[in-house]
Chains A and B, each alone.
Chain A
Amino acid sequence: MTRRTRIVIFLTAALGLAALFGWAFAGLPAFGNGSHVYAFLLNHVAVPERHTTNVVAAIVFDYRGFDTLGEEFILFTAVAGVVLLLRPVEREDPEDRGTTASDALRFVGVGMVGAGVLVGLWLIAFGYITPGGGFQGGVAVAAGAVLLYFVSNYSAFYPLGHVDGLDPVEALGAGGYAVIGAVALVSGLPFLANLLGPGSVGTLVSGGSIPFLNWASGIEVAAANLILFSEFIREYLHPARQDG
């Protein structure tokens, strides 16, 4: 169909969809007045039961930890997919087109690499006490490592982002999450059951197996993002296909 017909049909249908949305939203309680039994329950029992002060983390890694297992695998699978899609179909040309930066920029940059990685690790470590967690921290760690590319060049970064080295790490993160779940089965508990005692409220030793799942996902996310970024950068520098 022509672009004009497409836009006309779309706008008509969108009007219908908008009416449906309006009809549905009219059935919602006014903004800020909703109350949900599930949320109420968890806000009251999560801290006493799990001793983690961040209820969201308790949900993500414990009450609904099974969702997070799926989420880890979504990231894992997507990265596997990107690696597969961007795999070289012809020989790579060895020419290095990495950026080079001035010494001053490098100096600042190296500092930022360290800072990014540290912030990331901190976000993972304290994720179940304060805001943060495996995902946010993992991306920050990967971001820190990618900065290496911008301040030095691709060849310095390449070993870090190289798929061969990172694949096992990523698989360990995603698989580790499932293994922690399966360990509970072996000890006769339900899958993903929290094996360990809850520890003391608001400290790093709270939450039982939450820290382990949190670190597993942190490792998975950091490795996955590193692979993702390095695949895209490699695709830019050495396209999978020679053009023309």
Chain B
Amino acid sequence: MTWLAPLVVAVPLLSGALVAGGDHVAPRALQNAIGVCGSAATFVLAVLLFRAAERHEVLTWFGGWRPRSGIAVGIDFAVDPLAAGMCALIAGLSCAALVYSITYMPEAAKLYDTLLLVAAGSMCGFVLSGDLFNLFVWLELTAVAGYALTGFEVKQLGPLQGALNFAIVNTLGGYFVLMGIALVYARTGALNLAQIGSALSTRRPDGLVIVAFTLVVCGFLCKAAVVPFHFWLADAYAVAPAPVCMVFAGVMTDIGLVGVARVYATAFSGAFGLHAHAVGDLLLWLGIVSALVGGVMSLVQRHLKRMLAYSVICHIGIMLAGIGLLSSKALGGVAALLLAHGLATGALFLVAGMLLASLRSIDELRLRGRARARPWLAALWFVGTIALIGPPYVGAYLGHAMIDDAAAELGRHWVQPLLWLAGALSGAALLRAGARIFLGFGQATAEFLSPEVREDPPDRGANLPLLGGTTAVLAIAGLVVSVVPGLGPRVDEGAARFLDRRSYAEHVLHGGPFGFKHDLPFAIEHTSLESVIYAVVATLLALAIAAVGLRPPRSLSIVEPALAGLKRLHSGVVGDYVVWLTVGTAVVGGVWAVTLR
């Protein structure tokens, strides 16, 4: 099976090169076919890879350079089920984006398809790679494709500003990762994650190890848009074309989290050993703060894509908090949540795109009541929103519930209500917007919302049934994630493998075997009564907040100054963002300097 993993990366990259190479030669239909078939083939390969990784070890050494006496000579893909599943999600969303774009952006230069395909291939490379520098290469490739896709609408200032802020913050994040790599290499003489893990675990972590870890993690957190590295995301995702946003929000942000989890689990967990909770606690708190900031900020948006962008920050925060719990149950929950969130948020971005194509605006107030005659769009919007909030056994519920269980096992009962509250906040924003746009509820003005963002609609001629069909597939898939038979035990088992540093190192460096649990049950995951109650309360809370948002009472003006301050921080000025990036890195490093020794 050594041929399978490289192809998951090579097929989309080659399809991208093929599309670009035929830019002025091949007819448009052929180009579209190459793009769609290339990404669909990648999806099939990724699913096969997932099946293979569940049953036996999948380890590829590029160029056949196997390690010699425990020293890695080349670069490896050590595939675990979670990574392979992530590849399937990446390829699936990219395929959906390419199908959606055929009529949504018919005028798009073919290079647009190329960039989407390259981004898909590079993200797959990132999640599969077992080499620290190789992670950096794929991170940069993803980013380079992302900058150009964000700035795609070169006539408007908004997309250009979004792309610049995105590019500058993420480039600096990439340099931090690279400096961290240089430090790790200086200490261990290795770039392979397994080998680094073994080398670092032999002695107590000192300043070098802690700072190297800080730099690598902060670099990845820039990509993942975690507070205070998150500012660029709302600018970039608000303005990129809808199908691009779908890929960005569904998977590209998340690979930053994959990077944090991967690097911690394979390379640093041994070194920090007894102090692991200090690492986890900071990630947990960063996650909770991001989730709450994202939730509150999404409540004050009127531009649907910007609202969704803050909802992404909110859910990324919830996932980071799950990672911070450092248990396999929680990580499995994060994987389930990532899947549900990717599909549901993707669908919501696509609905926003359809609104822009058909009603020429995606402004909540301008569109008030104007989409009453579009019940299908309304259905898709509410399905996506409900999948994100996660009432019992719907959408994101499974992930939330697994994180709940893990928190309860660790005795951290306070984590659960905070995460549910954050999800309810961003869900409330989406419900409010849906009620105003599709049902015509609420007042025509709302002073607490951020100023209007202009966005030019795409050319007319979008084939709405095709767009709607693509969106419906995602929305429904997102809705049923929690009741997929056998998903729970599988993500749980995958997460346990993801976190097992010793077996991983033994396997990668010496070819040792993994223990596999065969015959995992195909049952719907059982969840605790606590989670059911939280989910019901969160759903009701979201409805209540949405109702208040439609007709805010005067007494709410007491929070106005705090909101204004929070909004002012999101200034759109890249110099400020760079300052927050520096502050964030210094603070994260400082906290770990105190707690990790």
Contact = CB atoms under 8 A, between A and B. Distances in A.
Given A39-B189, A185-B7, A178 B582 contact: no
A73 B13 contact: yes
Interface stretch (A19-27, A127-135, A150-158, A197-205): A19-27
A77 B115 contact: yes
Contacts of B185: 36, 38
Most interface-central of B61, B122, B211, B575 (chain A CB within 10 A): B211
A190 B191 CA distance: 20
A23 B575 contact: no
B359 interface: no
B346 interface: no
B61 A85 contact: no
A187 to B, nearest CB: 11
Contact of B148 (A6, A36, A84): A84
A74 B141 contact: yes
Contacts of B349: none
Contacts of A10: 578-579, 582
A62 B63 contact: yes
B587 interface: yes
Interface string A1-21: 100001001101110110011
B335 to A, nearest CB: 25
B190 A66 contact: no
A191 interface: yes
Contacts of A194: 63-64
B586 A17 contact: yes
Nearest to B126: A70
A226 to B, nearest CB: 15
A190 B586 contact: no
B112 interface: yes
Contact of B17 (A25, A84, A171, A190): A171
A181 interface: yes
B62 A167 contact: no
B151 A38 contact: no
A112 interface: no
B207 A24 contact: yes
Interface stretch (B21-29, B416-424, B518-526): B21-29
Given A34-B186, A67-B134, A85 B148 contact: yes
Interface residues of A, number: 72
A38 B62 contact: no
A85 B190 CA distance: 39
B139 to A, nearest CB: 10
B146 to A, nearest CB: 9
A118 interface: no
B159 to A, nearest CB: 10
B571 interface: yes
A36 B112 CA distance: 42
A121 interface: no
Interface in B162-199: 183, 185-187, 189-191
Given A84-B115, A175-B18, A71 B3 contact: no
Given A73-B122, A85-B154, A192-B63, A66 B17 contact: no
A163 B214 CA distance: 42
A87 B191 CA distance: 40
Interface stretch (B66-74, B321-329, B400-408, B528-536): B66-74
Contacts of B211: 20-21, 23-24
B547 interface: no
A70 B3 contact: no
Contacts of A189: 64
A196 to B, nearest CB: 13
Tell me which of A1, A73, A181, A193 has the highest count of chain B C-beta atoms within 10 A of its own C-beta: A73
Contact of A89 (B14, B147, B155): B155
Interface in A19-78: 20-21, 23-29, 34-42, 62-67, 69-71, 73-74, 76-78
Nearest to A174: B17
A182 B7 CA distance: 8
Contact of A181 (B6, B151, B576, B582): B6
A164 interface: yes
A36 B190 CA distance: 7
A39 B189 CA distance: 7
A179 interface: yes
A111 interface: no
Contacts of A65: 62-63
B63 A63 contact: yes
Given A64-B75, A167-B20, A178-B10, A84 B112 contact: yes
A119 B591 CA distance: 53
A48 to B, nearest CB: 13
A170 B16 CA distance: 12
A83 interface: yes
A185 B6 CA distance: 9
Contacts of B485: none
B212 interface: yes
A237 interface: no
A64 B63 CA distance: 8
A240 B6 CA distance: 39
A22 B593 CA distance: 13
A42 B64 contact: no
Given A41-B68, A178-B17, A191 B62 contact: yes
Nearest to A41: B71
Contact of B21 (A86, A89, A171): A171
B381 interface: no
A6 B115 contact: no
B14 A9 contact: no
A81 B212 CA distance: 32
A27 B207 contact: yes
Given A17-B585, A66-B63, A85-B148, A24 B183 contact: yes
A85 B164 CA distance: 12
Contacts of A20: 207, 211, 214, 585-586, 589-590, 593
Interface in B191-232: 191, 206-212, 214
Most buried by B among A34, A38, A168, A191: A191
Interface of A: 1, 6, 9-10, 12-14, 16-17, 20-21, 23-29, 34-42, 62-67, 69-71, 73-74, 76-78, 80-87, 89, 163-164, 167-168, 170-172, 174-175, 178-179, 181-182, 185, 189-194, 240-241
Given A26-B207, A164-B23, 13 more contacts: A10-B579, A12-B583, A13-B587, A23-B211, A25-B208, A38-B72, A38-B189, A171-B22, A175-B18, A181-B10, A190-B6, A191-B6, A192-B6
17 contacts: A13-B586, A16-B586, A24-B208, A27-B206, A27-B208, A28-B183, A38-B71, A39-B189, A63-B74, A70-B134, A77-B16, A80-B115, A84-B148, A190-B2, A190-B62, A191-B7, A241-B155
Closest 10 CB pairs of A and B: A81-B148, A171-B21, A27-B208, A36-B189, A16-B586, A175-B17, A24-B211, A191-B6, A23-B207, A70-B137
Interface of B: 2-3, 6-7, 10, 13-14, 16-18, 20-25, 60-65, 68, 71-75, 109, 111-112, 114-115, 118, 121-122, 125, 133-134, 137-138, 140-141, 144-145, 147-148, 151-152, 154-155, 183, 185-187, 189-191, 206-212, 214, 571, 575-576, 578-579, 582-583, 585-587, 589-590, 593
